[in-house]
Amino acid sequence: MPTNETWMAKVEALAPKEQETLLGTSLSRRFARLPLWLSHPANIGGFYGLLIALALLLPYAFGDQNNEVWGVQWIYHTSLLLIACGACGFLSLVMISLSKRHPMAPPRQLLYPMPFVGLALLSIDRVGMMDMPSMLVWALLLLPGPVYVHLSWAPRWRLLCMIEDGKDPFVGLEVKAEDNVEAEEMVGEDTEMLEVVDAFESE
């Protein structure tokens, strides 16, 4: 098993665009620092389910519906959340292993507010202010985590495993850094041409 130093050396040796594909944004970079067995998509999915379950403590504890048995109900729903989100993460990994798809940026503007909206609607429902459709509430609470894992983390985890096994998952798929050096040598000191090349590469 490669050491952490060897692992980081392999990642740092890649082209910047490949490093961005592997490490992603701040959230994925945090998960990438974990051991691969711990950052398995099923574990990340289950972790999201646990976060949602912790957020449900207050609505369950202070709601009017069956308040005397809220603890039992919360534990039951927490178990369902952990199993469901973990199973979704494992299913995503199976699908990614078959499709070989690379990571995609999840629609953050849509996904990030969804749990907060779902929690607000659940709180309104639990305190008896207004009846909310349970399917809508649970969809808002549950979808963001599995969607993020499926689009972003499961493909990224597969690439990280390939890197750890000594394989290059970017063969024939990415433009290497040497191509950028050749372009700079061709245009010489023409700064305007370099800006055009940089703009073209960024697109």
**pLDDT per residue as tens digits for the range 126-185:** 877 788 888 999 999 999 999 999 999 999 899 888 887 777 766 644 444 434 444 444
Among 105, 84, 120, which Cα is nearest to 152's? 105
**Where do we find the tokens 């509430």?**
137
Token pair 């433009």 is found at 175
Mean pLDDT, to the nearest integer, of 46-66?
85
Residue 126 exposed, middle or buried by CB count within 10 Å (0-12, 13-18, 19+) = buried
pLDDT in tens, 60-99: 887 766 567 788 888 998 999 999 999 999 999 999 999 9
